[in-house]
């Protein structure tokens, strides 16, 4: 059997499926206006943060708890520049500001491994939160800021565009030599360096690139929230959620984090409205169960099931 024809046919198929999905998502607000769009905006926000988190932390194994910091930088960019500049420029600047911050942090923390890296990135979120809080109270004299709104449909489409660019970037990285290089850093960093990979540059750039998307998502999300303060912008939960969502979904495939983020965001909405008092409790239990029984996430479960299904088919023939 001709394998190349098979793979090209397969890639054509998956390509057209992606186009159909994008088309459906793009026309979505036309059939379902109102609450569904709002829900989809939150889902997209978490998907963007989770996928960009997985882009760096998935292959390299460096667990970053800094997403909230990069997201918050985007939020504050939007609050400061929103009234002055057109929206696309604000979002680009939000992303770039996060990119620069992440580049700096990445360059500083190159020596840190494992748990030290985790603690440093978490410290960054808390440092920014408390510094901005102090600055706003003592220098500006306010705690919160008002961000100009742009309407839910606009927010939705911008989220969709960021999502599409992010997925293209993530796909490119995963299927290029950079993805392989990142993978080898995760497996054995010294060996990767010895084979001629510029470990430093690669780690820092990927980390900064992932921060770009988080910052952009923060910048656009701020316009939906309309009122922001440091505790909303630098909410530590935004650092933990992507980790949890990526693990729940599984990091082996690109669609894993998307599934994880979508299910969790929907679950969050569902639990908050049905069981407002038990919501976080249920959440914690799901988290524990996911870590204990789904080490490779839903993707791992799906793959095992598919492989099991294939085996059975072979056995039958």
Partner 1 sequence: MVEILDIVIAGLLMGGIYALIAVGLSLQFGVARVLNIAHGEFIMLGAFVTWWLYTKVGVNPLVSLAICGPMIFIIGFILYRTLFTRLRTSSPSPAAFEGNSMLACFGLLFIIQNTAILIWGASIRGYSYLAFPVNFGGAIFAANRLMTLGFAIVIGLVFYLFLARTRLGKAIRAAAQDPATAGLMGVNINQVLALCFGLGALMAGLGGSLISMSFKIQPTMGLEYTIIALIVIVLGGLGSIPGSFIGGFLLGLVGSIVTYVEPGLSLVAYYVIFMFLLLVRPTGILGK
User: Are the C-beta atoms of residues 55 and 206 closer than 8 Å to each other?
Assistant: yes
User: Are the C-beta atoms of residues 88 and 161 closer than 8 Å to each other?
Assistant: no
Which one of the spans 43-51, 130-138, 158-166, 263-271 is the region binding partner 1 (CB under 8 A)?
130-138
Any contact of residue 103 with partner 1 (CB under 8 A)? no
Q: Alpha carbon of 197 to those of 103, 176, 236: distances in Å?
A: 18, 14, 33
Residue in 39, 271, 280, 302 binding partner 1, rule: CB under 8 A: 280
Any contact of residue 270 with partner 1 (CB under 8 A)? no
User: Are the C-beta atoms of residues 173 and 182 closer than 8 Å to each other?
Assistant: yes
**Angle between the 114-135 and 87-108 helix axes, to the nearest 10 degrees?**
130
Which one of the spans 71-79, 190-198, 282-290, 307-315 is the region binding partner 1 (CB under 8 A)?
282-290
Which one of the spans 3-11, 43-51, 112-120, 146-154 is the region binding partner 1 (CB under 8 A)?
112-120
Q: Between 137 and 166, how does the x/- string for binding to partner 1 read (CB under 8 A)?
A: xx----------------------------
CB of 42 to partner 1, least distance (A): 19
How many Cβ atoms sit within 10 Å of the Cβ of residue 74? 30
User: Are the C-beta atoms of residues 71 and 199 closer than 8 Å to each other?
Assistant: no
Q: Alpha carbon of 2 to those of 10, 12, 110, 285, 314: distances in Å?
A: 12, 16, 46, 49, 21
In terms of C-beta density within 10 A (0-12 exposed, 13-18 middle, 19 or more buried), how is residue 283 classed? middle
Nearer to partner 1, 64 or 152 (CB): 64
Nearer to partner 1, 98 or 152 (CB): 98
Nearer to partner 1, 236 or 252 (CB): 236
Fill in the DSSP letter of residue 146: E
Any contact of residue 291 with partner 1 (CB under 8 A)? yes
Site for partner 1 in 34-53 (CB under 8 A): none
User: Are the C-beta atoms of residues 226 and 146 closer than 8 Å to each other?
Assistant: yes
Any contact of residue 124 with partner 1 (CB under 8 A)? yes
Residue whose pair of structure tokens reads 């088919």 in the numeric block: 313
Please give the angle made by the CA atoms of 58, 161 and 87, to the nearest 5 degrees. 115
Residue in 22, 26, 38, 63 binding partner 1, rule: CB under 8 A: 63
CB of 280 to partner 1, least distance (A): 4
User: Which value, to the nearest 10 degrees, does the dihedral of the CA atoms of residues 35, 280, 45, 100 take?
Assistant: 150
Q: Between 227 and 256, how does the x/- string for binding to partner 1 read (CB under 8 A)?
A: ---------x---x--xx--x---------
Any contact of residue 295 with partner 1 (CB under 8 A)? yes
Nearer to partner 1, 138 or 317 (CB): 138
Nearest partner of 242 among 50, 63, 93, judged by Cα: 50
Any contact of residue 126 with partner 1 (CB under 8 A)? yes
Nearer to partner 1, 15 or 114 (CB): 114
What residue ranges bind partner 1 (CB under 8 A)?
61, 63, 108-109, 111-112, 114-116, 118-120, 123-124, 126-127, 130-131, 133-134, 137-138, 236, 240, 243-244, 247, 277-278, 280-281, 283-285, 287-288, 291-292, 295
């Amino acid at each position: 059997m001709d394998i190349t024809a098979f793979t090209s046919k397969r890639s054509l198929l998956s390509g057209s499926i992606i186009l159909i999905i994008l088309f459906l998502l793009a026309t979505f607000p036309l059939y379902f206006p109102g609450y569904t769009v709002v829900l989809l905006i939150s889902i997209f926000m978490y998907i963007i943060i989770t996928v960009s988190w997985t882009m760096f932390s998935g292959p390299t194994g460096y667990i970053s708890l800094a997403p909230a910091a990069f997201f918050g930088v985007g939020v504050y960019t939007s609050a400061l520049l929103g009234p002055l500049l057109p929206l696309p420029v604000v979002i680009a600047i939000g992303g770039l500001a996060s990119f620069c911050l992440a580049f700096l942090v990445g360059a500083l923390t190159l020596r840190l491994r494992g748990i030290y890296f985790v603690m440093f990135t978490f410290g960054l979120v808390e440092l920014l939160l408390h510094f901005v809080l102090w600055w706003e109270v003592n220098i500006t004299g306010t705690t919160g800021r008002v961000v100009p709104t742009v309407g839910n449909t606009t927010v939705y489409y911008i989220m969709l565009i960021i999502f599409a660019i992010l997925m293209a970037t993530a796909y490119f990285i995963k299927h290029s030599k950079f993805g392989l290089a990142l993978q080898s850093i995760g497996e054995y960093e010294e060996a990767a360096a010895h084979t001629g990979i510029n470990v430093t540059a690669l780690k820092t750039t990927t980390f900064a690139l992932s921060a770009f998307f988080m910052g952009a998502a923060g910048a656009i999300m701020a316009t939906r929230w309309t009122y922001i303060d440091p505790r909303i912008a630098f909410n530590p939960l935004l650092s933990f959620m992507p980790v949890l969502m990526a693990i729940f979904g599984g990091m082996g495939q690109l669609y894993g984090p998307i599934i994880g983020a979508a299910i969790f965001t929907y679950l969050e909405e569902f639990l908050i409205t049905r069981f407002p008092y038990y919501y976080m409790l249920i959440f914690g239990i799901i988290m524990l169960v996911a870590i204990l029984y789904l080490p490779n996430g839903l993707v791992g479960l799906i793959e095992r099931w598919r492989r099991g299904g294939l085996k059975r088919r072979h056995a039958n023939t």
